[in-house]
């Protein structure tokens, strides 16, 4: 491929991951200036000519909200600079937890964010391990959903379908945690569906925030006779007392990806980071070459 057929740029949300993705492809991140006015307003300027080129913008949209605004402004600037095609690469799609109207007078923020990204001018979106698969349908542009192939225990009833497919692939039994949420960032473990007695357990989920629910699941599994318990979570939000809760729990090890960049000094000795750079790099290659992305995940979801 020629060196000027497409370019990769990144916002400021997770530069370490963006650099790894670009390095994996054999390219450098394109030059883009990201500045703030004295009142915090965001200013963006591309430092090189992108007219007629396909542009990939890597930016997670986890809080603070400036990450989302930065993405939207970068998309708009690329469109006004006459990029031929703009793909938003979202290692972590923030505001995904409000994906339906589950009670009166609440927003469906996942749909709102999808609308904003589309209206800003994105032609395609690549994201990893959405909180709910139906969010893909909120976009009126092509959407590629990357999903890691690790499952033994589904962290909630909503993940049963994909959990069943992974359990079949890994030749493992399927266990489901049935929980309810009385309010945000709080869940009550109702039932453990499946046998975990005297078995090692791997809990998988799309994200871990305050870790209260996750640690509650560990305690419930231990009470049912589980042996060693491990976790595999894609997006390490890790807010509030999450690190402390993980350290004090009976969890052996938690595997997370680097879709969200968090301070290294806050890492627990029980947390191991696995980079998603290779996966995103391959997705970018295939997108530009009009090759299948779904074939990266040839598993039966039935």
What residues are labeled active site? Answer: 179
Q: Beta-carbon neighbour count of residue 204 at 10 Å?
A: 22
- Rounded CA-CA distance 112/236 in Å is 23
**Contact at 8 Å (CB) between 289 and 264?**
no
Region of 40 (left: φ > 0; alpha: ψ -120 to 50; beta: rest) is: left
- Rounded CA-CA distance 77/95 in Å is 23
- Cα angle 255, 257, 260; round to 5: 130
The HSE-up count of residue 263 (CA atoms within 13 Å, CB side) is: 4
- Rounded CA-CA distance 230/226 in Å is 11
Q: How far apart are the first and last CA of the chain?
A: 38
**CB neighbour list of residue 111: distance below 8 Å, 6 or more residues apart:** 99, 138
**DSSP state at residue 133:** G
- Rounded CA-CA distance 14/275 in Å is 12
Length reported for the chain: 302
Q: What is the largest CA-CA distance in the chain?
A: 61
């Amino acid at each position: 491929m020629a060196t000027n057929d497409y370019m990769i740029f990144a916002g400021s949300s997770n530069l370490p991951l963006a650099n790894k993705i670009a390095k994996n492809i054999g390219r450098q991140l394109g030059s883009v200036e990201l500045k703030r006015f004295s009142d915090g307003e965001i200013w963006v300027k591309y430092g090189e000519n992108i007219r007629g080129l396909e542009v990939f913008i890597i930016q997670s949209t986890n809080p603070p909200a400036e990450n989302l605004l930065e993405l939207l402004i970068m998309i708009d600037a690329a469109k006004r600079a006459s990029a031929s095609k703009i793909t938003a690469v979202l290692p972590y799609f923030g505001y995904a937890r409000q994906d339906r109207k589950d009670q009166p007078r609440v927003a469906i923020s996942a749909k709102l964010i999808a609308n904003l990204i589309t209206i800003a001018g994105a032609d395609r979106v690549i994201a990893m391990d959405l909180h709910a698969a139906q969010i893909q349908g909120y976009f009126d542009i092509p959407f590629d959903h990357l999903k890691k192939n690790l499952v033994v225990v589904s962290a909630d009833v909503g993940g049963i379908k994909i959990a069943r497919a992974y359990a079949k692939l890994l030749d493992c039994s399927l266990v489901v945690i049935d929980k309810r949420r009385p309010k945000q960032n709080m869940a009550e473990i109702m039932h453990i569906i499946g046998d975990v007695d005297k078995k090692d357990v791997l809990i998988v989920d799309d994200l871990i925030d305050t870790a209260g629910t996750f640690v509650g699941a560990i305690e419930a599994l231990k009470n049912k006779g589980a042996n060693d318990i491990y976790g595999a979570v894609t997006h390490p939000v890790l807010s509030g007392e999450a690190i402390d809760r993980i350290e004090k729990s009976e969890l052996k090890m938690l595997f997370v990806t680097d879709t969200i960049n968090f301070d290294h000094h806050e890492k627990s000795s029980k947390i191991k980071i696995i980079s998603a750079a290779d996966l995103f790099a391959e997705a970018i290659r295939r997108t530009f070459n009009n090759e299948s992305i779904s074939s990266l995940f040839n598993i039966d979801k039935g």
